[in-house]
């Protein structure tokens, strides 16, 4: 078995703010294999950037250990870690040309001028900016600055590449382009990469594995599909994609499935998150993805729940419905748009068909964390 590229062992960062003690990062444990692309995903203030900055060595953890390539780096200063860091605002040196920005790290290492020129050229070639070598950062567009920032760290062939929301300052179209670009480079160079973002689409499309964080704690670590299909907590279910959550009490459990009486009267059976055994009468949320719901014009159709359409919004490729199940329960449904069929009008009674394979019970306690 090879040494992991990065190991976080019970890492925590505690700030003292006035009289309160704030655990900005709390007990984060993670093992990253060589060549993996990991994203840290979470809302702002969840501790993802602080975790990244501790890996980089810009901040020291209050508790725990950080191992890079098997070496304990917990107290090693940033300049001795051999890590590449790409900043949200690029942090290009405004007083240096593109060449000198990219050459900066190589010079720190004391490489000879010929090698430096060659490596700078290669790095800029890699990001497609070889022609901009003599320009200054303020003469470059945002996307170009981003590429230079990338070239600057890639020139050093770091063992680990850390990126802090690197695309958030770019416009939407360029962002999409850079996503694939970064992923392509990462795969080609086989470099281990940790990428911080609050954009779930970015995380889902780029990552091998996602670490979802909230309030300093790890909510779940898994592949994009795992995270999407098997959220461990209500927070993850809600943060990644959209989710309907109906609060109810389970009425039975067997073989990884629980069932409960849903509004409308009948029993619905679904997996439990992580296959947890749910005692009868456990308070749980039944999580259903809006896109796993189909509507039928016949409210009485077999195997459907009767509901009233509260709102219908046409958004092009699909239609978003808000459905009223009665007893204060509502559902969101995302249905592919069919130009040949009529939209269900507001106030219409419809039959709601739920894909039971994808529905999931998450016990309510799990969301406290």
Partner 1 sequence: MTAASASRIRRPSLALRDPALFFALVTLWLSLGLFIILPFLRLLQATFIKDGALTLANLVKVWGKAYNRRAFSGSIILATGVSLAGTLLAYLFALAVTRTHWPRWVRWLLSSITILPLISPPFTSSISLTLALGPNGMLLKALGLGELNFYGFWGTWLSETLTYFPVAFMVLAAILSAMDPNLDDAAFSLGASRRRMFWTVTVPLSMPGIANSLLLLFGSSLADFATPLILGGHKFPVLPTQAYLQITGMYDLRGGATLSVLLLLPALLVYGIQRWMIGRKSYVTVTGKSGARSNFATLPRGLEIAMVIVCGLVALFIAYLYFIILWGSAVRVWGVDNSFTMEHYAYVFTHGRKAITDTLKIGITSTVLGSLLAVVLGYLFQRFRFAGRKTMEFVSMLNYALPGTVVGIAYIIAFNEKPLLLTGTITILVAAYIFRYYATGIRSVMASLQQIDPSLEEASMSLGAGRVRTFMEVTVPLIIPAVLAGMRYLFIHSMTAISATIFLVSVRWTLLTTRILESMTELQFSQASAFSIVLIILVFIADIVMGWALRRSSLRFGTTQETSYDNTGA
Please tell me the distance from the alpha carbon of residue 267 to that of residue 359, in angstroms, as a whole number: 13
Choosing from 44, 95, 190, 342, the residue that interacts with partner 1 (CB under 8 A) is 95
Cβ-based nearer residue to partner 1, 92 or 227: 92
Interface with partner 1 (CB under 8 A), residue from 67, 91, 176, 185: 91
- Of 18-77, binders to partner 1 (CB under 8 A) are 21, 56-58, 60, 62-63, 75, 77
SS3 316: coil
Which residues have C-beta within 8 Å of that of residue 145, sequence separation ≥ 6? 90, 92, 137
Instruction: Pick from 37, 40, 99, 104 the residue near partner 1 by CB under 8 A.
Output: 104
Range 272-301, binding partner 1 (CB under 8 A): none
Pattern of binders to partner 1 over 69-88, x per CB under 8 A? ------x-xxxxxxxxx-xx
Does residue 148 sit in helix, strand or coil? helix
Binding mask 147-186 for partner 1 (x = CB under 8 A): -----xx--x------------------------------
- How far apart are alpha carbons 330 and 310 in whole angstroms? 9
C-alpha torsion sign, points 12, 17, 19, 20: negative
Residue 89 makes contact with partner 1 by CB under 8 A: yes
Q: Considering beta carbons, is residue 57 or 224 the nearer one to partner 1?
A: 57
By CB under 8 A, tell whether 108 contacts partner 1: yes
Question: 8 CB contacts (<8 Å, ≥6 apart)?
Answer: 28, 29, 30, 31, 51, 55, 64, 65, 66, 67
Rank residues 105 and 363 by Cβ distance to partner 1 and give the closer one. 105
Q: How many residues does the chain have?
A: 369
Nearer Cβ to partner 1, position 49 or 304?
A: 49
352: helix, coil or strand?
strand
Binding track, positions 231-270, relative to partner 1; x by CB under 8 A: ----------------------------------------
Render 34-47 in DSSP notation, one character per residue: TT-EEEEE-STTSS
Q: Which of 1, 2, 16, 347 binds partner 1 (CB under 8 A)?
A: 16
User: Minimum Å distance from CB 222 to partner 1?
Assistant: 29
Question: How many residues at the interface with partner 1, by CB under 8 A?
Answer: 36
List residues bridging with 17 in a β-sheet.
20
Which residues are CB-neighbours of 262 under 8 A, at least 6 positions away?
Answer: 246, 248, 268, 286, 305, 325
284: left (phi over 0), alpha (psi -120 to 50) or beta: beta
Residue with tokens 């009289």: 19
Minimum distance from residue 59 beta carbon to partner 1 (Å):
9
| Closer by beta carbon to partner 1, 12 or else 204 | 12
Q: Is 216 in the site for partner 1 (CB under 8 A)?
A: no
Using rule CB under 8 A, residue 333 touches partner 1: no
What's the per-residue H, E or C state across 237-303? Answer: HHHCCCCEEEEEEEEEEECCEEEEECCCCCEEEEEEHHHCCCCCCCEEEEEECHHHEEEECCCCCCC
Q: Which of 209, 233, 234 is nearest to 222 (CA)?
A: 209
Among 131, 138, 317, 368, binds partner 1 (CB under 8 A): 138
Nearer to partner 1, 82 or 264 (CB): 82
Distance of alpha carbon 176 from alpha carbon 184, whole angstroms = 13
- Closest distance of CB 221 from partner 1, Å: 25
Q: Which residues bind partner 1 (CB under 8 A)?
A: 14-16, 21, 56-58, 60, 62-63, 75, 77-85, 87-89, 91-95, 104-105, 108-109, 138, 152-153, 156
């Amino acid at each position: 078995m090879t040494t992991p590229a990065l190991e976080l062992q019970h890492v925590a960062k505690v700030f003292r703010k006035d009289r309160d003690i704030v655990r900005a990062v709390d007990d984060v444990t993670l093992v990253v294999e060589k060549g993996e692309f990991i994203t840290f995903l979470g809302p702002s203030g969840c501790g993802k950037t602080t975790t990244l900055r501790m890996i980089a060595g810009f901040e020291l953890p209050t508790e725990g250990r950080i191992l890079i390539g098997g070496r304990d780096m917990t107290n090693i200063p940033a300049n001795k870690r051999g890590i590449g860091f790409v900043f949200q605002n690029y942090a290009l040196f405004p007083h240096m040309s593109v060449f000198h920005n990219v050459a900066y790290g190589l010079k720190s290492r004391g490489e000879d001028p010929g090698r430096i020129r060659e490596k700078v050229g290669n790095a800029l070639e890699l990001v497609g900016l070889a022609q901009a070598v003599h320009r200054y950062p303020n003469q470059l567009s945002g996307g170009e600055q981003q590429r230079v920032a990338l070239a600057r760290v890639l020139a050093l062939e770091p063992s680990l590449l850390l990126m802090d929301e690197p695309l958030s300052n770019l416009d939407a179209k360029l962002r999409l382009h850079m996503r694939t670009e970064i992923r392509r480079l990462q795969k080609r160079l086989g470099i281990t990469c940790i990428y911080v973002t609050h954009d779930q689409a970015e995380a889902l499309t780029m990552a091998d594995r996602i670490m979802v964080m909230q309030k300093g704690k790890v909510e779940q670590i898994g592949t994009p599909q795992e995270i999407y299909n098997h959220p461990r907590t209500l927070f993850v279910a809600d943060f990644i994609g959209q989710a309907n959550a109906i609060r109810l009490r389970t009425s039975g459990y067997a073989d990884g499935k629980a069932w409960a009486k849903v509004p409308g009267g009948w029993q619905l059976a679904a997996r439990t998150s992580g296959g947890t055994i749910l005692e009868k009468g456990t308070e749980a949320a039944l999580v259903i993805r809006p896109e796993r719901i189909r509507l039928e014009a016949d409210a009485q159709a077999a195997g459907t729940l009767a509901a009233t359409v509260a709102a219908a919004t046409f958004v092009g490729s699909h239609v978003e419905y808000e459905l009223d199940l009665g007893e204060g329960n509502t559902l969101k449904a995302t249905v592919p748009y069919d130009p040949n069929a009529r939209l269900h009008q507001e106030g219409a009674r419809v039959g709601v068909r739920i894909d039971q394979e994808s529905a999931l019970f998450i016990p309510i306690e799990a969301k406290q964390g």
